[in-house]
Amino acid sequence: MKPAIWHKLAWAAPAGIEVSRQRFMALLAVAGLAGIAVSLSQGSMMLFALILVAPLAFILLLSVINSPLVMFFAVFVFNYFMIGIMRYVNIDGMSVMMDILLWTQLLLIIMHKVLKAENNWGNAVNLLTILSLVWTLYCVLELVNPSGVTEAWVMSRRLIYQGLMMAVIVSLLFDNFRQVRWVIILYSILTLLAVAKALMQRFAGFDQYEMDWLIRSESISTHIIHGGSVVRYFSFFTDAGNFGSNMGCAGIMFLLLAFYERKVAMRVYYAIVGMLAIYVMFLSGTRGAMLVPLAGLALYTVLSKNFKVMAIGGVVLVVLYVFFAHTYIGESNALIRRMRTAFHPTEDASFQVRMRNQAVLREYLKSKPFGEGIGLGGVDGRKYAYRVTTQIPNDSWYVKIWMETGIVGLILYVGILVAVLLRCSYIIMFKVKDKVLRGYLMAMLCGTFGMAVSAYGNAFLGQMPTMLLMYVFLGIAINGECFDKLLTAKPSVK
């Protein structure tokens, strides 16, 4: 604990005489010993255990206040693994736990800044946080939607305000490039763990818990296809669609970072992580996931402002398109054959079903400009009410937004996303001068943009860990100019 923080945590005697740190610790020790004596005399082992743990909890609390980034890393990891944990451990209220973690994180950051007298509160006022607040307010107004259900609204709070909270947390917490590097390194480790789990599923098969989940959630028909000739792997994600799109994001991010890192070892490491992520993206069998690296590469050619990069990127995109859309190379491979159908959507039966479903929704939602109500989109909404919108599967994140918040909500949501992406692109292209920082920001934005495009064909953008990851990357990118100014003033922080 730094002296400045301890000074502000210390309390004073009534006469105004400051109590020293040593005396304060002595008082705590005496109180602890007295508590232990009382608990043992009364035979209360629970009280005895609490007294023993309390000092450790107090030290941990002070450590987290002193360095809120530690808490952020814990939340980041928990968000990534939460769904996988729930397959193996039957714990109710995991989503409530995430709410508690986010609110605790925000409170600790505020305490840290007050105690350290930091005055960079203005970082939290940016286009991402402002427009996220607008979206939250719109969702709050959805409470008066006459066709809505309050319980469904409450259970959809991730869509309502968790993005706003993460945007504020990232904007307040991150103030230098070194922190960004650590987040990306942590993300690379998590990606490797996701890859390892997918490879275990591929070569050792699904374990008992995963098979139970496939059967219980009625997902077996969408993950084990044609009697097992095509198997879609999902690692520890919600499903193969979410997994594939996330790996597509990680793939394009780390492959781009491999070109911008100064250290050769880190370049090789990022390249390996990126290639492994792209490989397991194919193992997911998610056709829409291919759009993530392709859309990310397309955005990168623009953000680079380099004619040579634009030319090379354009050639790569054309070659990939021709390979999948106009050749039969690799057709004997079931996964490649499945991915190839994404380039012929009109010939795909599932695509035609989606178009018919959207036609039904278009007619039904004509009289509902504000939607059916938050939480009442897709078959998961059947637990709250039986509506037209709860009889149609969520095959697109934007269709889900349309069903639940209407055409008004859809326009608002897409408008916010486009505005934030454009603002981040402008900052990267014209405000950030440091080459390495610009490379990191471009990689994160390209991955996020790819997922936003892919979400048209898959309703994964609001699932865990995707949504909070997206807000972390956008929150970092939109404050890129602040990081760049610090690098210019203090080159050593690189």
> Where do runs of H (alpha helix) occur along 341-430?
349-364, 397-430
CA 73 to chain CA centroid, nearest Å: 13
Residues 6 or more apart whose CB falls under 8 angstroms from that of 23 comprise none
Averaged pLDDT for residues 337-349: 69
Backbone angles phi, psi at 149, to 5 degrees: -125, 125
Q: How far apart are CA 190 and CA 64, in angstroms?
A: 22
The pLDDT of residue 8: 45
pLDDT (mean) for 113-139: 88
More confident position, 273 or 154: 273
Q: Around 135, how many Cα atoms within 13 Å sit in the side-chain half-sphere?
A: 30
What value does the mean pLDDT take over residues 479-488?
86
Examine the pLDDT at 492 and tell me if it is beyond 50: no
Q: Is the pLDDT of residue 20 over 60?
A: no
In the predicted model, what is the mean pLDDT of residues 322-345? 73
Length of the chain: 494
pLDDT band, very low/low/confident/very high, at 50 (cuts 50, 70, 90): low
Q: With bands split at pLDDT 50, 70 and 90, how would you rate the model's confidence at 17? A: very low
More confident residue, 266 or 95: 266
The structural domains of the chain, with segments of one domain joined by +, span 3-63, 67-493
- Tell me what pLDDT residue 315 has: 84
Average pLDDT score over residue span 311-337: 77
- In Å, how far from its chain's centre is CA 210? 23
pLDDT of residue 5: 46
Q: How far apart are CA 232 and CA 62, in angstroms?
A: 45
Report helix, strand or coil for 224: strand
- Cα 76 from Cα 468, distance rounded (Å): 8
User: Rounded mean pLDDT of 350-358?
Assistant: 81
CA proximity to 441, closest of 212, 310, 257: 257
- 100-113 average pLDDT score: 87
**Residue 344 pLDDT grade (very low, low, confident, very high; cuts 50, 70, 90):** low
Residue 353's SS3 state is helix
pLDDT tens per residue, range 195-236: 999 999 999 888 888 888 888 877 787 788 766 667 888 998
In 117-259, which ranges are E strands? 224-225, 230-231
Half-sphere exposure (Cβ direction) of 267: Cα atoms closer than 13 Å: 9
Mean pLDDT, range 431-449, rounded to an integer: 95
Angle at CA of residue 198, ends 156 and 294, nearest 5°: 75
